[in-house]
Amino acid sequence: MGKQIIPKSAKIAIGLQALIIFLILAVWITWASWGMLSLYHFILTGIFFFPAFALCTTSLYGLSKGKMSGWLTSIIGNIVSVAVLLFFAGPTAVFPAGLLVYLLLPPVRDYYVRDYYQ
Residue-wise pLDDT tens digits, 55-85: 999 999 999 998 999 999 999 999 999 999 9
| Residue 90 burial (10 A CB sphere; 0-12, 13-18, 19+) | exposed
User: Residue 1 above 50 pLDDT?
Assistant: no
Give the pLDDT of residue 38.
Answer: 75
What distance separates the 2 farthest-apart alpha carbons in the chain?
55
Average pLDDT over the chain reads 88
